[in-house]
With several copies, the nearest count.
Chain A
Amino acid sequence: MIRVLFFARLRETLDCQELDLDFSGTVTELKADLAKRGEVWHQAFHAEEVLVAINQVMSKNDECVKAGDEVAFFPPVTGG
């Protein structure tokens, strides 16, 4: 199982804060899986810039996700 988190506008768009999934593969593959969950999900992962952190570290699309990981998706950050 992996835990998937969503933040900010993305969380609102998907109306989803958190998912537990059976998954292993790259971030790109995970995004493709998530995009199949419905039109809103498809749009969110294709039309907008989505950043990813694996285990709370900024990561890239070609990195691998394995059981036990926490994967977070979010829009570009706007703090400071």
Chain B
Amino acid sequence: MDTILVQTQAFNAGELTNRLASATTAHGALVTFTGLVRDQTSDPVESLFLEHYPGMTDSALNDIVAQAKTRWPLGPVTLVHRVGLLYPGESIVFVGVTSAHRAEAFQACEFLIDYLKVKAPFWKKETTPSGQRWVATRSSDNAAAERW
């Protein structure tokens, strides 16, 4: 019923959205988050490499989804994260949550991405015209995760 995937292939956020929408008629609210590779203007990102800890990512994502399900009454949940080489405009992560009411769906979706950002073992390395650099942690991400 839930879909939790870590994959090198591109995914289609719209298809994942529609699959969730048709997965249940008992849950009237569907909230999705899609994170995309941004094309910054100052030092443009040419590509992004997403490294991960293969043995741990699956269990970390499953654990985060399980936590969300103890906190809110949710229907089907989809969580897909890409690894490997990505280009601007491509989708990195998709989080889709269904629930009977919208407040719960919004909260659970934001919780999932906030927790994923600080608890799942993925690391981004950007290639720009001035070279390669590991993306630094944003303190706002820690603050966001600590709210829950």
Q: Tell me, yes or no, whether A binds B.
A: yes
Binding site for B on A (CB under 8 A): 5, 7-9, 53, 56-58, 70, 72, 74-80
CB neighbours (8 Å) of A56 from chain B are: 53, 55-56, 59-60
Q: A9-B134, A56-B55 are in contact. Are A74 and B121 (CB under 8 A)?
A: yes
A5 is contacted by which of B53, B122, B124, B134 (Cβ under 8 Å)?
A: B53
**A76 / chain B contacts, CB cutoff of 8 Å:** 118, 137
Interface core residue of A58, A70, A72, A79 (most chain B CB under 10 Å): A79
B52 and A79 within 8 A (CB) = yes
Q: A77-B123, A80-B35 are in contact. List 5 more A-B contacts (CB 8 A).
A: A7-B51, A56-B59, A57-B56, A79-B52, A79-B120
Nearest CB of B to A69, in Å: 13
**A79 pairs with B53, CB closer than 8 A:** no
Tell me whether A80 and B92 are in contact (CB under 8 A): yes
Residues of B close to A53: CB separation below 8 A: 53, 56, 121
- B:48-76 near A, CB below 8 Å: 50-53, 55-56, 59-60
